[in-house]
Amino acid sequence: MKEENMHIESELRNQNTSSNENAEYSMFAGWVKKHKKGILIAGGAIVAIGAGCLVYKNWDSITSIFKSSKPDSIVIDKPKVSVKAAMPVVNVIPETQIETVSKIINNGEPYGVCRHPRNLPNGWNASAEKIALALENGIELREHQTLVESYFKNCA
C-alpha cells in the first residue's frame, strides 16, 4: 500500500513539474510573439554594428584589395572569340485613326425582332415567369436558356 501511495505521489510531482515547464515555455513564447518587431529591430542593429566594427578594424586590408585589382592590369593578347553585333531592324508603323463602326440597317428605320430563346451563361437560368410564358406560347426552353420578348431595333 505504501508503495502504491509513493508511486502516485511521484507521478503527481512529475505532472506538476511538467506543467510548470509548459507554463514557463508558453509565457516565454507569448512574450516573444508580443515583442517580435522589437526583437527583429534589435537583432538587425546588433548585426549592423558588428559588421561596422569588422569593416573599421580591417579597413586597411579592404582598401589594399581594391587598390591592387586595377582593371588596366588585365591584358588579353589574342582574343579567342570575335563577336559582330548588329542593330535589329525595326519598322515604324504609322499610327492609324480609330473609327467606330455602326451598321445602319433598313435606312435607320426600326424593324421588329420576334420573340426567341436566348442562351444564358453557365450557372444562369430563366426566371419562372419566362418559363411559364414560353410554355404558353409553345416554346420549349432548354437548360441555361431564357425567352426574349419581341422588340424593335434599327442597327445591327
Average pLDDT over residues 129-147: 90
How high does pLDDT run on average in the chain?
78
Separation CA 127–CA 146 (nearest Å): 8
Give pLDDT, residue 11. 63
What are the domain boundaries of the chain?
2-71, 106-153
Give pLDDT, residue 6. 61
Considering only CA atoms, which of 118, 113, 114 is closest in space to residue 153? 113
Flag whether the pTM goes above 0.85. Answer: no
Identify the residue with better confidence: 143 or 90: 143
Q: Are 81 and 105 in contact (CB under 8 A)?
A: no
51-90 confidence digits (pLDDT tens): 999 999 999 888 888 776 655 555 556 666 666 666 667 7
Amino acid found at 10: S
Q: Which of 20-24, 29-33, 119-123 has the lowest mean pLDDT?
A: 20-24
HSE of 62, CA atoms in CB hemisphere, 13 A = 7
DSSP H/E element including 112: strand 111-113
Whether pLDDT at 15 is above 60: no
Which pLDDT band holds residue 9 (cuts at 50, 70, 90)?
A: low
Whether pLDDT at 18 is above 90: no
Separation CA 31–CA 88 (nearest Å): 62
Helix-strand-coil split of the chain, %, nearest 5 = 50, 10, 40
Give pLDDT, residue 7. 62
83-121 confidence digits (pLDDT tens): 666 666 777 777 878 777 667 777 777 888 889 999 999
Give pLDDT, residue 17. 54
